[in-house]
Amino acid sequence: MMCKDLDTGEIITIQELEHRMVASSLAEKASTFPVDGLKDRGNKKPVKKEGYLTKESRGGLMKNWKRRYFILEDRQLKWVATQGDSTVKGTMDCSECKLSLVPESSKPHAFKLTDSKMVTLTMVADSAQEASDWVAALASAQFQRVGLVNFELLRTLGKGAYGKVLLVRKKDNGKLYAMKNMSKSTVLRKDNVGKIKTENNILRALDHPYLVNLKFAFQTPGALHLVMEFLPGGDLFAHMKRHKRFPEEWVRIYSAEVVLALAELHAQGIVYRDLKPENIMMGSDGHLKVTDFGLSKSNMEEDDVTTTFCGTNEYFSPEMLKGHAYGKEVDWWTLGILVYELLCGRSPFYAGTKNKKDTYERILRAPLAFPEAVDISAAGKDLISKLLVRDPKTRLGYGSEGASQIKTHPFYAETDFEALMRKEVEAPFVPKAATNATDTSNFDKHFTSQAPRVSDADLFIDPEAQERFRGFTFVGPEHE
């Protein structure tokens, strides 16, 4: 369907008009919408937008239009007869509404909201700009109880396949968080909506001392945002680069914390599938937390298997490389790779070439060998050897008692796992003390030197595609 852009005179599609209208307003503008004459309303919810609109009304079989004064507070839209009138004529909850534009041939500057009961409210603005402001404000109301406007961007901490991670400060309480910012267009292009939803749902369910904690999740028109606890110690990979390899006593504690994290995931029916030093963060107390659940598989019962090929080259299990169905035991293989790498400073199947097929060949066939220059106890070698058994059914950790088998291995004979769960065991290493609350010296300078910017927050996404992200918003129970 075609319509006219009143600013340029062009005849364009209604989708292109939506693009121009929404993209013209920055995401933060969509969250704040300063309007002349608006005052602080005390305990009332903040007003995002207000003003006159002409509303479609129906009387019997007749359709007519009435001018009303609309007020958008938080996610609630209400209207009164005139500005200042205390008698509310009607309301609509925008959080579960579908927002769309009306073709200009039918009504210029018009847009409509349809709620979950299929009740449609059609409104007409006085100008294209006013319509654009309302569309952006309503889009913001749909997406968030908490939004970008609530956070101050401080540093860039890292970047990944879908976006970046930023250090942010919540304005109302001054607390620091790590915010993962993901472009919706990238997620859609890579057909990974399901993966992002899975990560969000897993994070919501987690409450464990060695798994990262989700605080908020919200959307802007073009991006997804996961706000998690900030772990100032950086990732374990960065510390490995500095130390080259760790003493066995350190590795015993670090790996035990990872065992507890994986055991919790498995107990909740989750196969992690991406264990590596880059996905293990260190808190200010020196203890570890596993993060990044984008490749995890949820709803896995005890005997369930899956076949998705995913993970990191040097950590792939033999059964995954062979295309066989696999279960939770793939995580114990990666634990074996991790323990070896922490002790020896490199992967046990490192091929020394850039050809990943060489690495795969070594994973499948090369004998496990330990470097003579590294002093590893017999118990340490035995643990690694039993975790890196190529047949998953004879691998240490296979079956319903997997975590218990590992915790009772001689390598952990002196480890008090109950005390570790209570964090009563001293961390082997405490990262360099922060010079201030926003110190990011434990993160890669390549990223921290970059200006903290949110990507694609205001990018237009087709309304039908937006429906695929419904239900993403989350506020942790401590923030309700």
Average pLDDT, the chain: 85
Q: What are phi and psi of 467, to 5 degrees?
A: -60, -25
* pLDDT confidence of residue 96: 67
| 274 annotated active-site | yes
Give the pLDDT mean for 164-189.
Answer: 93
pLDDT digits (tens, 9 = 90+) for 341-371: 999 999 999 888 889 999 999 999 999 999 9
pTM of the model: 0.73
pLDDT digits (tens, 9 = 90+) for 134-149: 887 787 666 556 788 8
pLDDT digits (tens, 9 = 90+) for 209-227: 999 999 999 888 889 999 9
Token pair of 426 as six digits = 């001293």
* pLDDT confidence of residue 348: 96
Yes or no: is domain 149-231+441-479 CATH 3.40.50.1000? no
CATH number of 2-143: 2.30.29.30
pLDDT digits (tens, 9 = 90+) for 25-71: 333 333 333 222 222 333 345 567 899 999 987 554 557 889 999 99
Strand-pairing partners, residue 227, are 179, 216
**432, 161, 151, 169: which is closest to 284 by C-alpha?**
432
pLDDT at 167 over 50: yes
* pLDDT confidence of residue 143: 54
Is 334:314 a contact under the CB 8 Å cutoff? no
Block residue for tokens 């990979």: 237
Q: Say which residues have a Cβ less than 8 Å from residue 335's Cβ, sequence separation at least 6.
A: 255, 258, 259, 262, 275, 387, 397, 406
Q: Which of the pair, 444 or 36, is modelled with greater confidence?
A: 444
Lowest mean pLDDT among 7-16, 188-197, 309-318: 7-16
* pLDDT confidence of residue 151: 93
350, 352, 358, 363 alpha-carbon torsion, rounded to 10°: -10
Lowest mean pLDDT among 73-77, 169-173, 243-247: 73-77
Q: How far apart are CA 16 and CA 10, in angstroms?
A: 11
Is 51:69 a contact under the CB 8 Å cutoff? yes
Give the pLDDT mean for 309-336.
Answer: 96
End-to-end CA distance of the chain: 43
Residue 35: half-sphere exposure toward Cβ, Cα within 13 Å: 21
* pLDDT confidence of residue 473: 84
Helices and strands, counts by H and E, the chain: 15, 17
Give the pLDDT mean for 426-453.
Answer: 85
Domain with CATH 1.10.510.10 in the chain: 236-421
**471, 250, 272: which is closest to 380 by C-alpha?**
250
Q: Which of the pair, 334 or 302, is modelled with greater confidence?
A: 334
pLDDT at 7 over 80: no
Q: How far apart are CA 143 and CA 94, in angstroms?
A: 9
Q: What are phi and psi of 332, to 5 degrees?
A: -75, -30
Share of the chain above pLDDT 90, in %: 60
* pLDDT confidence of residue 476: 79
Give the pLDDT mean for 239-267.
Answer: 96
Mean pLDDT comparison of 148-152, 197-201, 430-434, highest-scoring range: 197-201
> Over the Cα atoms of the chain, what is R_g?
27
130: amino acid identity, one letter: E
Give the pLDDT mean for 81-89.
Answer: 93
Q: At what angle do helices 329-344 and 378-387 cross, to 10 degrees?
A: 140
321: amino acid identity, one letter: L
* pLDDT confidence of residue 100: 78
Domain with CATH 2.30.29.30 in the chain: 2-143
Do strands 474-475 and 214-220 pair parallel, antiparallel, or not at all (unpaired)? Answer: antiparallel
Is 157:178 a contact under the CB 8 Å cutoff? yes
Give the pLDDT mean for 303-314.
Answer: 93
pLDDT at 106 over 90: no
* pLDDT confidence of residue 142: 61
pLDDT at 309 over 80: yes
pLDDT digits (tens, 9 = 90+) for 278-307: 999 999 999 999 999 999 999 998 889 999
Q: How far apart are CA 96 and CA 115, in angstroms?
A: 6
pLDDT digits (tens, 9 = 90+) for 391-402: 999 999 998 888
* pLDDT confidence of residue 479: 57
Q: Say which residues have a Cβ less than 8 Å from residue 115's Cβ, sequence separation at least 6.
A: 92, 93, 96, 97, 121
**211, 226, 298: which is closest to 469 by C-alpha?**
226
Q: How far apart are CA 415 and CA 310, in angstroms?
A: 32
Share of the chain above pLDDT 70, in %: 85
As assigned by CATH, the class of the 236-421 domain is mainly alpha
Which of 115, 172, 191, 274 does the annotation list as catalytic? 274
* pLDDT confidence of residue 145: 63
Query: How distant, in Å, are the alpha carbons of 163, 208, 250 from that of 342?
Result: 28, 23, 9
Q: Which ranges in 293-438 belong to alpha helices (H)? A: 318-321, 329-344, 356-365, 378-387, 402-407, 417-421
State the greatest distance between any 2 C-alpha atoms of the chain, in Å, as a whole number: 89
* pLDDT confidence of residue 303: 86
* pLDDT confidence of residue 370: 96
* pLDDT confidence of residue 435: 61
